[in-house]
A and B are shown apart, each in its own frame.
Chain A
Amino acid sequence: MAPLNTFEGLIIWVGAFATLALYSVLYRENPVYRFAEHIFLGIATGYGLYVTWKDILYPNWFKEFFPGPLPPGVPADPGQPDFTGGFWLWGLAALAGAMYYTIYSKRFNWMSRLIMTTLMGLGAGLTFREFFGQYVPQIGKSFKPLLVVRANAAGSFDLTESIIASFSNMLFVACMFTVLMYFLFSFEQKNKFIKNSSYVGRWLMMIAFGAMFGSTVMARMSLFLGRLTFLFKDWIHWIQ
């Protein structure tokens, strides 16, 4: 068992009780779980408030907006003010943030819509840049050569490698093409080629979804193993 007379040990004991309180829901819904769940919510909310101040509002707004003294022993740069902050226009950022709070008022909630749509507009304007950054390189890389010639270490033609590389590219292009067909022609189709392509595309998507399911299982089991290790190794020392 983890020792209770050290601070590290105390953290482990508190953590173990917190873990067991939440795991009690696996037996059935119960008041201990509900209580622990609310403690978690409270702590998370409190932490969110702290971090929002510490990492966002304090450095980006408070210190920029309110004038303050220079750090002790740091002289002002030539031509620069002998104080920090004082960017009085940053008050408007607080006003913009405050506009969100009108969401609860029927009379004033147009202000919350104004700030929300403005931010959404900014995001929309950036989508063009995002599309070019994220997808355009992929479009280029989708045009793969279907016949690949590979050389071996001696520099002569390597038939096996060439066949494998060509097959790999052909398969890649065919898979992508058929799935695109499935999405582009999702309505009733009479053309046999399109119909069959999108049919194959549907099957290929099943393979991809299977891979996603398998990976999801892996992720979830890892999280469970993390807790199991905590309880049986860190807490009761069954696992050395």
Chain B
Amino acid sequence: MQSRTGARWEEFLGRLDRRLVSLGLVLFTLPPLVGKWVLPLTASSPSRALQAAVEAIPPEKLVFISSDWDAGTQAESRPQLTAIVRHLLKQKRKFVLFSVNSPTGPQIAQTTVEKAIKEEDLTEEQWKYGRDWANLGYKVANTPWIRTLSRSIQEAMKEDWQNTPISELEILKGVDRWGPDGQVAMLIDVTGSATIEYWYAYLTPTKVKLGLACTGVMAPEQYPYLDSGQLSGMLTGMKGAAEYFELIGAPSPELRVTMAGQSFAHLYIVLLILLGNVPIFLGWWQRRQR
């Protein structure tokens, strides 16, 4: 039987206005953001592995970025894409974007990449669209088409996101195959959904390197693929992006501060879980007393 104190707690929790609790989240996370608090940040091994994989790409080969996120996950995916693109720009690696499963993907990826190019102090002429990078737009992720793409890029892709035929894009001249024997050395999936499953299934046999920048929700499910070597490296959510900025020598003060805010948000959730369990802890304690 529940003790009187436990019952009182239950009653208190039941009456607790959820709007106040929501407001608590705002109040808990704002101080680190306003006060620009910075906490230590150590890069995890999957992030380091991704950096190493990108740096091992032969300079003449292309990187494809499957930018499969929309504004719903932009807080995580946008800094990830920015960090990866800035690394590619520092490494002078040419890259091609495309999006499956996310209709808004091409447009938000385009603005993200344009901003990253600016942040790397490159002009539009120095890192030219069509010659050094391209955006091939949105495709429906159905498996027959993905099978075609895994076999021949030229047959699967017709035009870029502004309807320019790919035959007019210098960067894609003669680019058709994935993997060590082809022209594309790596595919990095920046994603807010399970699109990486397509690439495991269809691109693993081509031996092209796969990188992943996923939301926090998806990360635990990807560890078996890191272990099997199907995945060369991985960024987990906003934290992965913050780590990657540190690794490539372009630390993002803004993201470091946001990570402090994230820390306090987590702390708030932990405290709420503990609060919710007070009646149960009290029950245990009283049983032990008896």
Complex: A in contact with B (CB within 8 Å): yes
Interface residue ranges, A against B (CB under 8 Å): 26-27, 47-48, 51-52, 54-56, 58-60, 63-64, 71, 119, 122-123, 126, 129-134, 137-138, 140-141, 172, 208, 211-212, 215-219, 221-229, 232-233, 238-240
Closest 7 CB pairs of A and B: A226-B75, A219-B216, A130-B201, A218-B216, A221-B265, A141-B228, A59-B158
Q: How far is the CA of A211 from the CA of B204 in the complex (A)?
A: 26
Q: How many residues of B contact A (CB 8 A)?
A: 61
Contacts of A55 in B (CB 8 A): 103, 106, 137-139, 161
Given that A219-B237, A225-B29, A232-B30 are known contacts, is A130 also in contact with B143, CB under 8 Å in the complex? yes
B289 contacts partner chain A, Cβ-Cβ < 8 Å: no
Given contacts A55-B103, A133-B204, A218-B216, 6 further A-B contacts (CB under 8 A): A54-B163, A55-B106, A131-B201, A218-B236, A222-B75, A232-B34
Contact segment of B18-26, B50-58, B275-283? B18-26
Q: Are B216 and A59 in contact, CB atoms less than 8 angstroms apart?
A: no
Contacts of B200 in A (CB 8 A): 133-134
Q: How far is the CA of A122 from the CA of B215 in the complex (A)?
A: 30
CB distance from B275 to the nearest CB of A (A): 15
CB distance from B217 to the nearest CB of A (A): 4
Q: How many A-B residue pairs have CB under 8 A?
A: 149
Q: Are A223 and B19 in contact, CB atoms less than 8 angstroms apart?
A: no
**Contact among B26, B138, B230 with A228 in the assembled complex (CB-CB below 8 Å):** B26
With both beta carbons as reference points, the residue of chain B lying nearest to A227 in the complex is identified as B75
Q: Are B202 and A228 in contact, CB atoms less than 8 angstroms apart?
A: no
Contact segment of B3-11, B60-68, B219-227? B219-227
**Contact among B73, B144, B159 with A59 in the assembled complex (CB-CB below 8 Å):** B159
Interface residue ranges, B against A (CB under 8 Å): 19, 22, 25-26, 29-30, 33-34, 36, 72-76, 103-104, 106, 137-140, 142-144, 147, 158-159, 161, 163, 165, 197, 200-205, 215-221, 224-225, 227-230, 236-239, 257-258, 261-262, 265-266, 269
Given that A63-B158, A130-B202 are known contacts, is A138 also in contact with B230, CB under 8 Å in the complex? yes
Q: Are A26 and B22 in contact, CB atoms less than 8 angstroms apart?
A: yes
CB distance from A33 to the nearest CB of B (A): 14
**Contact among A137, A216, A219, A225 with B258 in the assembled complex (CB-CB below 8 Å):** A225
CB distance from B150 to the nearest CB of A (A): 9
**Contact among B76, B144, B203, B265 with A122 in the assembled complex (CB-CB below 8 Å):** B144
Contacts of A60 in B (CB 8 A): 158
Q: How far is the CA of A63 from the CA of B225 in the complex (A)?
A: 40
CB distance from A206 to the nearest CB of B (A): 13
Contacts of B76 in A (CB 8 A): 219, 222-223, 226
**Contact among B106, B165, B237, B258 with A229 in the assembled complex (CB-CB below 8 Å):** B258
Q: How far is the CA of A216 from the CA of B269 in the complex (A)?
A: 12
With both beta carbons as reference points, the residue of chain B lying nearest to A210 in the complex is identified as B220
Looking at chain B's contact residues, is the secondary structure mostly helix, strand, loop, or mixed?
helix
Q: How far is the CA of A54 from the CA of B99 in the complex (A)?
A: 14
CB distance from A142 to the nearest CB of B (A): 8
Contacts of A27 in B (CB 8 A): 19
**Could you list some 21 contacts between A and B, CB below 8 A?**
A26-B19, A26-B22, A47-B104, A51-B138, A56-B139, A64-B158, A130-B143, A133-B205, A134-B230, A137-B204, A212-B221, A221-B29, A222-B76, A222-B237, A222-B238, A223-B72, A223-B73, A223-B75, A226-B75, A229-B75, A239-B33
**Contact among B137, B138, B197, B262 with A225 in the assembled complex (CB-CB below 8 Å):** B262
Contacts of A129 in B (CB 8 A): 147, 201-202
Contacts of B269 in A (CB 8 A): 217, 221
CB distance from A145 to the nearest CB of B (A): 14
Contacts of B220 in A (CB 8 A): 208, 211-212, 215
Q: How far is the CA of A216 from the CA of B203 in the complex (A)?
A: 27
Contacts of A223 in B (CB 8 A): 72-73, 75-76
Q: Are B103 and A215 in contact, CB atoms less than 8 angstroms apart?
A: no
Q: Are B201 and A133 in contact, CB atoms less than 8 angstroms apart?
A: yes
Q: How far is the CA of A210 from the CA of B26 in the complex (A)?
A: 25
Contacts of B159 in A (CB 8 A): 59
Q: How far is the CA of A140 from the CA of B204 in the complex (A)?
A: 14
Question: Which of A216, A218, A228, A229 has most B Cβ within 10 Å?
Answer: A218
Q: Are B217 and A59 in contact, CB atoms less than 8 angstroms apart?
A: no
Q: Are A134 and B197 in contact, CB atoms less than 8 angstroms apart?
A: yes
CB distance from B202 to the nearest CB of A (A): 6
Q: Are A228 and B266 in contact, CB atoms less than 8 angstroms apart?
A: no
Q: How far is the CA of A239 from the CA of B103 in the complex (A)?
A: 32
Q: How far is the CA of A238 from the CA of B76 in the complex (A)?
A: 22
Q: Are B237 and A218 in contact, CB atoms less than 8 angstroms apart?
A: yes
With both beta carbons as reference points, the residue of chain B lying nearest to A48 in the complex is identified as B103
**Contact among A48, A64, A239 with B34 in the assembled complex (CB-CB below 8 Å):** A239
Q: Are B219 and A215 in contact, CB atoms less than 8 angstroms apart?
A: yes
With both beta carbons as reference points, the residue of chain A lying nearest to B104 in the complex is identified as A47
